[in-house]
């Protein structure tokens, strides 16, 4: 009983001083503070959260679905299809009389989803691939990186279009195609970082205590990569959105009645000459807002987490 108590007091005394610096400053807490101080990044983050909330809450206020044609505006889109609260078309209608409000919301959802999925694949595949190549080094490394070089220099845009034509245009094919290439850059970044990490003392210590390679990679190397992975993943999201929009602009993306921002911009650009500017303006504003905010958030993360630029 007494001995137990004593041990308890000893551990609590020993634990106390270790707790204090952890509460004070950690890498992540520091980074968080730096990020919060970055006005452009914080504003972007708030705007971005606003856009995401809008795509979640917005549909409840929609009076029209994405595919329902409003026959009262058909043939007279320029005046009857203009944005108005009375008709329930808050963003107006598109050229065939479908509600643009609902379509912009769906387009934004799909663009965000494509960005996040592409980025998530990059994080999982790219991190593991890069960490394994960097950690083991030697022949395995050069073989793995040579493969990345080869895939990298294939003009993926054409392969992606090819995939969409051959296997049909669907969400799954789009995600597969984007996932095929999104991890390449990430694996290079991660490999480079792993190369510098693996000679550090804590990794040597882990190896010396007999940890298996798998444990060294996942317990000691990957956690130390999280910063750079987070930065790169955030900057990858707008790239993936651009890629998807490009394909949708060509009319090779998701199929009607589903839509995406790239497809909406393409439609709006074609009808612009009739004076229906809102068909281009609304999707364009959402598109540019998303890209801008992701770039600034990614930049802010880099400033906050990357010790090199300080």
Partner 1 sequence: MIQFILKRLAVAIPTLLVLIVVSFFLMKMAPGNPFAGEKTVPQSVLDNIYARYGLDKPEWQQLAEYIYNVVFRFDFGPSFQYRDRTVNDIIAQGFPVTFTYGAWAFVAASVIGIALGVVAAVRQNSWADYLSVGFSIGAQVVPNFVMAPILVLIFTLWLRWLPGGGWNGGHWSNVVLPVIALATSYFANIARITRSSMLEVLGSNYIRTARAKGLPGWKVIFGHALRPALLPVVSYLGPVFVGMVTGSVVIDLYFSTGGIGQAFVNSALNRDYSTILGITILLGALTITANLVVDVLYAWIDPKIEL
**Contacts with partner 1, residue ranges (CB under 8 A):** 146, 149-150, 153-155, 157-159, 161-163, 165-168, 238, 242, 245-246, 249-252, 262, 265-266, 268-269, 272-273, 280, 284, 287-288, 291-292, 295
Q: Which is nearer to partner 1, 42 or 157 (CB)?
A: 157
Q: Which is nearer to partner 1, 50 or 168 (CB)?
A: 168
Q: What tokens were used for 206?
A: 């882990």
Helix (H, G, I), strand (E, B) or coil at 93: strand
Of 178, 155, 170, 182, the residue nearest 252 (C-alpha): 170
**Distance in Å, CB of 258 to partner 1, minimum:** 18
Distance (Å, whole) CA 80 – CA 87:
9
Q: Which is nearer to partner 1, 202 or 274 (CB)?
A: 274
**Distance in Å, CB of 18 to partner 1, minimum:** 42
**Distance in Å, CB of 149 to partner 1, minimum:** 6
Burial 36-63 (b: 16+ CB within 10 A, else e): eebeebeebbebbeebeeebeebeeebe
**Distance in Å, CB of 128 to partner 1, minimum:** 23
Q: Which is nearer to partner 1, 136 or 292 (CB)?
A: 292
Spatial neighbors of 183 by CB under 8 A, at least 6 apart, are: 121, 122, 124, 125, 126, 129
Q: Which is nearer to partner 1, 80 or 284 (CB)?
A: 284
Spatial neighbors of 193 by CB under 8 A, at least 6 apart, are: 130, 134, 224, 225, 228
| Count of helix runs (H) and strand runs (E) in the chain | 14, 0
**Distance in Å, CB of 287 to partner 1, minimum:** 7
Of 61, 81, 62, the residue nearest 70 (C-alpha): 81
**Distance in Å, CB of 301 to partner 1, minimum:** 16
Q: Which is nearer to partner 1, 15 or 166 (CB)?
A: 166
**Distance in Å, CB of 82 to partner 1, minimum:** 18
Helix (H, G, I), strand (E, B) or coil at 64: coil
Q: Which is nearer to partner 1, 27 or 143 (CB)?
A: 143
Alpha carbon 156 to chain centroid, angstroms? 19
């Amino acid at each position: 009983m007494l001995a137990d108590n004593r041990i308890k007091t000893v551990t609590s005394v020993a634990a106390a001083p270790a707790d204090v610096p952890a509460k004070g400053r950690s890498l992540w807490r520091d980074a968080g503070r730096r990020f919060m101080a970055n006005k452009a990044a914080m504003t972007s983050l708030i705007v971005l959260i606003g856009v995401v909330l809008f795509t979640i809450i917005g549909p409840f206020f929609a009076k029209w679905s994405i595919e329902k044609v409003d026959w009262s505006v058909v043939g007279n889109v320029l005046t009857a299809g203009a944005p108005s609260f009375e008709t329930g078309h808050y963003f107006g209608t598109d050229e065939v009389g479908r509600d643009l409000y609902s379509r912009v919301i769906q387009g934004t959802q799909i663009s965000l989803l494509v960005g996040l999925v592409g980025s998530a694949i990059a994080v999982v595949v790219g991190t593991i691939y890069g960490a394994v190549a960097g950690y083991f080094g030697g022949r395995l490394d050069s073989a793995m990186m040579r493969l990345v070089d080869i895939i990298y220099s294939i003009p993926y845009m054409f392969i992606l279009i090819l995939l969409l034509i051959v296997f049909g245009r669907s969400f799954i094919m789009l995600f597969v195609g984007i996932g095929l290439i999104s991890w390449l850059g990430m694996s290079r970044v991660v490999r480079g970082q792993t190369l510098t990490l693996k000679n550090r003392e804590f990794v040597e210590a882990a190896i010396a205590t007999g940890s298996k390679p798998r444990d060294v990679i996942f317990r000691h190397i990957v956690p130390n990569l999280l910063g750079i992975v987070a930065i790169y993943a955030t900057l990858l999201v707008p790239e993936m959105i651009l890629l998807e929009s490009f394909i949708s602009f060509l009319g090779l993306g998701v199929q009607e009645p589903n839509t995406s921002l790239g497809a909406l911009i393409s439609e709006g650009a074609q009808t612009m000459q009739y004076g229906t500017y809102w068909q281009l303006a609304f999707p364009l504003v959402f598109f540019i807002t998303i890209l801008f905010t992701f770039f600034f958030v990614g930049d802010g993360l880099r400033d906050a987490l990357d010790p090199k630029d300080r």
